[in-house]
Amino acid sequence: MRNALHFFLGRPSDWHLRRPTLPRIHLGPNLLGPLAVLASCLVSWPAFAGATGEDGNVALGLWVGAVSILLMAWSFILALRPKILEPLFGGLDSMYRVHRWAGSLAVAFMFWHTSIEPEVQGGIRGAAESVADQAEDLAGAGEMMLYILIGLSLARIFPYRFWRWTHKLLGIPFIFASWHFFTAEKTYANGSAWGWWFGFWMVAGIVTYLWRVVGFDMLRRGNPHRIVAAEHIGSTTRIELEPIGKPLGQDLGQFAFLKLDVPGMSEPHPFTIASAPERGNLEFFIRHLGDWSAKLPDHDLIGAKVHVEGPYGEFEPLGHAGERPVWIAGGVGITPFLAALDRADLGTETPTLFYAVRSIEDNPIVDRLREAEAAGRVDLHLFTTATGRLTPEALDIQFPNGMNGCHVALCGPAGLVSSMADAARSRGASRTETEDFDIRQGFGPERSQEISDAIPLPI
């Protein structure tokens, strides 16, 4: 009984939610995306400002309902991962951060809207009363469905593939809510300018949702590649992909989503590309951290077809001309720096690399780093459990006069990246570059692998 409770409840630390933090603000094009999301909500207020009813909160109630629709639409648009929007958000990791915030706030605004239950007086009907009543009932069912799906998706005990399927269903509550919003009594006619404004966002949300679920996941799966090399070393699998057709065309530090045409392995997962763009072939190092990656050694991967979606990301390991590159990596976070070292000519000063890893015995990357160090391509500083953890004091040893003029790129576990980035900034680093791509967040114990083995789920 105690073991069963431990399995489902986990440890107290499993239930510690990561405190939501906002990214550091850097003036530039990366602010245009978040500002566009905010502006689309604020400019919608005049559509309801004059609404009256028995409840004095009618205008507010109508507006927060509209904002819920707008934020859900934005969430679906960003889930499509449009490359044209990446620079406006500062990379796909930031786009996904806004995607999650938009989805979470949409649920909160929906709850707020239903709590107010605004009834406008003298409004304009969007459809016949019977149709509007049916649409309202659908919206109520969709609201409960949304709460259940969000709750399931936040529970880390469920496997990643289960999380993906719950996310695929989130468009249904949005369609119900949009139909209710269209047919309900409002302060404007559906054929007016405001009607076209909100109609655009509802259609955009529905179309991008369907294109994500049907288009990308079923029809347009990505650039075809073939696995030409695969080796399993300790808890890491290295694979090399050869393009079938034209190369992917990635930049240094970018990542891609892999979809393996292997039974039980077709769900997409993001990994940083560890090879230089000029090589043509793509190389990935995949740690066995979840239910999907842990099964890689069980399959014969050579010759298997892989669809690659991407590339994505704005991570810059080398920085600009005149900046001294300093790299800080933990575990598999070394991969974007391997891509830089794979380039024939770095075109910059010799990078200083601080690499933290549990041990070097089963790490297939350390030998490659030592070869690069012997060739004079990198100044390597290794930190293991046995030799001592990587701490900010390591920066003082290598940079006793401060880090002015250094471009510091960091990739790895969130705690390491956060502490070392703060340390680099406090020591005068000209710029810090991070990319925290966390496609799934939640709470509770991580039991994905065990549950996945016990319960077969659709791919």
Mean pLDDT value of segment 103-111? 90
Closest CA to 395 of 370, 426, 372, 366: 426
* Contact call for residues 384 and 407 (beta carbons, < 8 A): no
Q: Where are the domains of the chain?
A: 29-219, 223-314, 324-434
Could you tell me which CATH number the domain at 324-434 has?
A: 3.40.50.80
Tokens 């740690």 locate to 287
Counting every residue, how long is the chain?
459
Number of CB atoms found within 10 A of residue 429's CB = 23
* Contact call for residues 268 and 258 (beta carbons, < 8 A): yes
Tell me the range of 46-55, 103-112, 215-224, 340-349 where mean pLDDT is highest: 103-112
Measured between alpha carbons, how far is 28 from 11 in angstroms, rounded to an integer? 42
**Which of 74-78, 219-223, 303-307, 391-395 is predicted least confidently?**
219-223
Q: How confident is the model at residue 67, as a pLDDT?
A: 96
Mean pLDDT value of segment 334-349? 80
The answer, yes or no, to whether residue 269 has pLDDT greater than 90, is: no
What order do you get walking across the sheet with 305-312 strand by strand? 269-272, 255-260, 305-312, 223-233, 236-243, 282-287
Q: What is the pLDDT confidence band of residue 447, given thresholds at 50, 70 and 90?
A: very low
Tokens 């969430």 locate to 75
The answer, yes or no, to whether residue 41 has pLDDT greater than 90, is: yes
Tokens 């933990």 locate to 330
The answer, yes or no, to whether residue 457 has pLDDT greater than 60, is: no
Tokens of 275: 């090879």
Beta strands in 248-298 (DSSP E): 255-260, 269-272, 282-287
219 secondary structure, DSSP code: I
Tokens of 49: 């400002």
Q: What is the mean pLDDT of the chain?
A: 81
Percentage helix, strand, coil for the chain under 3-state DSSP, each rounded to 5 = 45, 15, 35
Q: How confident is the model at residue 455, as a pLDDT?
A: 35
Q: How confident is the model at residue 302, as a pLDDT?
A: 92
Q: How confident is the model at residue 203, as a pLDDT?
A: 96
Question: Residue 432: helix, strand or coil by DSSP?
Answer: strand
Q: How confident is the model at residue 332, as a pLDDT?
A: 81
Whole-Å CA distances, 1 to 4, 156, 180: 5, 21, 47
421 secondary structure, DSSP code: H
Q: How confident is the model at residue 157, as a pLDDT?
A: 65
Q: What is the pLDDT confidence band of residue 198, given thresholds at 50, 70 and 90?
A: very high
Whole-structure pTM value: 0.75
Percentage of the residues of the chain whose pLDDT score is greater than 70: 85
Number of CB atoms found within 10 A of residue 459's CB = 12
Q: What is the pLDDT confidence band of residue 439, given thresholds at 50, 70 and 90?
A: low
Per-residue pLDDT of 146-177, as tens digits, reads 888 877 776 666 666 677 777 788 889 999 99
Measured between alpha carbons, how far is 172 from 58 in angstroms, rounded to an integer? 26
Closest CA to 322 of 430, 435, 434, 433: 430
Tokens 């409002």 locate to 186
* Contact call for residues 402 and 378 (beta carbons, < 8 A): no
- More confident: 135 or 23: 135
Topology of domain 223-314, CATH: Elongation Factor Tu (Ef-tu); domain 3 (2.40.30)
**Which of 38-47, 285-294, 371-380 is predicted least confidently?**
285-294
